[in-house]
Structure 1
């Protein structure tokens, strides 16, 4: 079996574990977690399996992808994204050919995107070149699911996506989205999903943004280990708090919100 074939099998396996009422169905979704940056990342993968958390383990450099995929190959709940983080483009743009080498074997792509924060603005033109090239490669190959970073760049990110990734060639999840209400509406119209974590929901502005988003476009995430709880990195098994916050914002019970998020995941990965 080729590596690419193993990912097609993984697609079916992930669908099977999210069919309602099966004993192996996930209970939770963490669609953006830097699993490899935890000191106990192998134990964390086992914890995701034990707690039945469907987890996307994003990476920040192409060099990290192969080892991460190896560690998660037997996990029914953890998938790995092939990433080239915009904050690292200044140092790691030379790994773009390696990214393109691995891309045929990667169904999930992330973390990628743009960042116009003060520390990273000097590399913004290079970020745009890298992002555009990644999107065009994903569009050419098709059937990719992308987790995208868009700090201070939501409009730019949406513009690149509109030009380079036709909707039938890939699916987009906007990670920790903090754009304007108009940009959020544009993203919804483009068919995109949003992954939401508990830290972003501390902001009243961002709570209002999430309230404006359709429930059927929401996923949960932790963005661990960068998000902390009580002084320690949050773990995928603690994503229930984000589910509870979404439930409160949308006037649902936690059980209703959890069910909706799992349905969204199933729709995303089986479309």
Structure 2
């Protein structure tokens, strides 16, 4: 199945960043060349993200802004109404990508309803592209077959060396969906992993850069979060690293199914 993949290969995650922290993070990232900024209604930072974008002076058409609709905004016309609220907070006429942040817990709201509403938001020009996040293989199939599901471009999921999520990545790619990987550094855990450190030494880089290169080499978009310009620059440079097949096998072997984002309303995950 052929779909267009509009997402830049790396973006800046903003989870847990607020106020001046998120403004400074975005400001330095944009100066370094990042153009993809990832936020969400849940993060409570859309106004600050918007302020940082406007203060950058970078033309809107050069930026790729993602936000996500929280799971309590899926019924009735809430998907559209909440996106309009997000746009007001961001100070934007549209986002480049609007995602359903999590599938409706226990299918309380039928998926065909909120996917159709998300597509309606796209048709209204609130978002250029639409996608999903934290959807399992079964839910990916359901979303793609829902009204408007043919317009979905990505599934944003947790991907790092300790949660490779290979089955879901392969399934999405087989269905023509780009995969976006969040928490690619496993909230810093990759820095201390001996195998990653050993491979990093061979390349003259850091373990974090090796983890990002491993994710990116699977044709997965990476959205690491960082407030330090030095780390942001290193994350960008990680995309230039090419790992050998042997190195990839060693990193693949680290997969232990260690899931960080696993709230009580999460779906039944793929094994």
TM-score (norm: length of structure 2):
0.53
Is 1:248 equivalent to 2:240 in the alignment?
Answer: no
- Corresponding residue for 1:149? 133
How far apart in 1 are the matches of 2:77 and 2:246?
47
Q: Report matched runs for 1:121-132 at 5 Å.
A: 121=105, 124-126=107-109, 128=111, 131-132=114-115
Is 1:221 equivalent to 2:223 in the alignment?
Answer: yes
Is 1:101 equivalent to 2:99 in the alignment?
Answer: no
Is 1:45 equivalent to 2:26 in the alignment?
Answer: yes
Contact 2:11 2:36 in 1 (8 A): yes
Contact 1:198 1:242 in 2 (8 A): no
Is 1:192 equivalent to 2:177 in the alignment?
Answer: yes
Larger radius of gyration: 2
- Corresponding residue for 1:58? 39
Q: Deviations over 1:125-151 (max 9, x none)?
A: 248477424433245457733453216
Cα displacement (A) at 1:188: 1.0
Q: Deviations over 1:162-186 (max 9, x none)?
A: 323354x352243325696444333
Q: Structure 1 or 2: larger helix share? A: 1
How far apart in 2 are the matches of 1:47 and 1:106?
23
Count of equivalent residues: 207
Judged with a 3 Å threshold, the aligned counterparts in structure 2 of structure 1 residues 101 and 54 are, in CA distance, closer, same or farther, namely closer
Q: Deviations over 1:215-268 (max 9, x none)?
A: 57322211568xxxxxx9x96445248647x8437679xxxxxxxxxxxxxxxx
- Corresponding residue for 1:113? 101
Quick one: which of 172, 178, 182 aligns to 2:154? 172
- Corresponding residue for 1:159? 142
Contact 1:61 1:95 in 2 (8 A): no
Q: Which consecutive residues of structure 1, in runs of 5 or more, have no partner in the other structure?
A: 1-13, 19-27, 226-231, 253-271
- Corresponding residue for 1:22? none
Judged with a 3 Å threshold, the aligned counterparts in structure 2 of structure 1 residues 63 and 182 are, in CA distance, closer, same or farther, namely closer
How far apart in 2 are the matches of 1:133 and 1:179?
30
Contact 2:80 2:121 in 1 (8 A): no
Contact 2:132 2:156 in 1 (8 A): yes
TM-score (norm: length of structure 1):
0.53
